[in-house]
């Protein structure tokens, strides 16, 4: 038995349950499991992990790695953190919503839409988060090619307050 028995069990379970769907599963260190999942199967993978005791979706980290956008879904439970990575092409970025599995995901998914422009399929319409309502809708600040030079010039208030 390796010293990371419970981590290896999760890793092996993921690989056995989702052959071809979960790839690159690894145990990074004690309490840390990383894996990549096929985008369209993401909700099922998370559902399985939830049943295995990862009852909290701690957060979703979106990223821009050049050719692809993607996100890490950080799940925690039993003191472990499992991070599931999914990718989506830059040309038409889209990810399935995980709301049916984790109702807590609403704001994290809105963040993906606002900051990266990744369309989250199945996320009900609602107010944007975290950018302000008047922020240009075609600009996504956490993309690597975005700088604040992209912002339109700020219009000073026409009149000074009296």
Partner 1 sequence: MSKITIPLGPQHPALKEPENFMLVLEGEQITGATVNLGYNHRGMEKVAESRTYIQNLYLIERVCGICSHSHTTTYITNVEELAKAEVPQRALAIRTLIAELERVHSHLLWLGVAGYEMGYETLFMYTWRDREQVLDCLELLSGNRVHYSINTIGGVRRDITAEQKAAVLKRIKYLEERTQYYIKIATQETTLLARTMNVAKLPPDIAVKYGAVGPTARASGIKIDVRKDEPYLIYDKLDFKMITHDTCDVFGRVVVRALELVESYKMINQILNNLPEGPIAVKIPMKLAPGEAVNHYEAPRGEDIHYLKSNGTDKPERLKVRAPTMANLQSVAYMMEGGWLADVPLAIAAIDPCMSCTDRAVVWDAKKGKKTTYAWEDLRKLGIEHYRKRGVDFTKL
Question: Is 139 a binder of partner 1 (CB under 8 A)?
Answer: no
Closest contact distance (angstroms) between CB of 109 and partner 1 is 13
Binding to partner 1 (CB under 8 A) within 22-41 occurs at: 28-29, 31-32, 34
> Which of 87, 102, 116, 120 lies at the binding interface for partner 1 (CB under 8 A)?
102
Query: How far apart (Å, rounded) are the C-alpha atoms in residues 73 and 71?
Result: 6
Q: Which helix (H) or strand (E) holds 113?
A: helix 106-116
Burial (CB count <10 Å: 0-12, 13-18, 19+), residue 22: buried
Q: Which residue has the tokens 């996504």?
A: 140
Instruction: Render 129-150 in DSSP notation, one character per residue.
Output: -SS-TTS-TT--TTSTT--GGG
Query: How far apart (Å, rounded) are the C-alpha atoms in residues 31 and 108?
Result: 23
Closest contact distance (angstroms) between CB of 60 and partner 1 is 8
Binding to partner 1 (CB under 8 A) within 58-77 occurs at: 58-59, 61, 63, 72, 74, 76
The site for partner 1 (CB under 8 A) is made up of 28-29, 31-32, 34, 55-59, 61, 63, 72, 74, 76, 78-81, 83, 102-104, 106-107, 115, 126-132, 141-142, 146
């Amino acid at each position: 038995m390796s010293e990371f028995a419970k981590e290896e069990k999760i890793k092996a379970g993921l690989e056995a349950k989702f052959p071809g769907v979960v790839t690159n599963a690894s145990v990074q260190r004690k309490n840390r499991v990383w894996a990549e999942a096929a985008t369209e199967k993401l909700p099922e993978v998370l559902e399985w992990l939830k049943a295995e005791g990862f009852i909290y979706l701690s957060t979703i980290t979106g990223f821009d790695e050049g050719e692809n956008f993607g996100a890490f879904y950080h799940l925690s439970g039993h003191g472990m953190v499992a991070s599931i990575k999914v990718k989506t092409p830059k040309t038409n970025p889209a990810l399935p919503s995980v709301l049916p599995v984790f109702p807590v995901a609403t704001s994290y998914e809105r963040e993906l839409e606002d900051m990266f422009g990744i369309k989250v399929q199945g996320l009900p319409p609602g107010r944007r988060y975290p950018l302000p309502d008047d922020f240009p809708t075609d600009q996504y600040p956490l993309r690597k090619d975005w700088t604040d030079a992209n912002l339109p010039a700020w219009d000073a208030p026409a009149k000074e307050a009296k």
